[in-house]
Amino acid sequence: MMVNSLLSSNEFKKRLSRCYNEVHRELYGVGVTQLRIDAAGESMILFLVKHQRVTALRALEENYPELKQSVDAALHQEFKRIFRKKLADELDLPVTGVLRDYDPGTGWASTIIISE
């Protein structure tokens, strides 16, 4: 699938943004502060996102770093699972893979959607 043609539509980008933000709110209770969507090659969509830090996770960092890391990993997996399903169901976007990383020091995250 040629994602460049999909992303040339502002309406499609808005729908992608809405999907991302809805999943983030569902899992973390807050929306994102900045979101940029770009094509990354012919079949990948790159999301660069500035997140608000979840207070409960920040509270675990100092005294329970291993637990915080495990919770973070589980939430990332849930985000990817729910986001993949939402993109398929609501946008009819076939997703082969979802890659995600987050830097808690800066609040920036990247998510790459690999489409068929």
Q: Give residue 25's pLDDT.
A: 93
Q: Which of 45, 47, 49, 3 is nearest to 30 (CA)?
A: 49
Tens digit of pLDDT for each residue in 96-105?
A: 999 999 888 8
- C-alpha dist (Å) from residue 24 to 4, 30, 54, 78: 24, 7, 11, 10
pLDDT in tens, 40-98: 888 999 999 998 877 788 788 888 989 988 998 999 999 999 999 999 999 999 999 99
Which is higher by pLDDT, 19 or 58? 19
How far the first Cα of the chain sits from its last, in Å, is 6
Residue 2 has pLDDT above 80, yes or no: no
pLDDT at residue 1, as a whole number: 57
Report d(CA 49, CA 10) in Å as an integer.
18
State residue 4's pLDDT score: 79
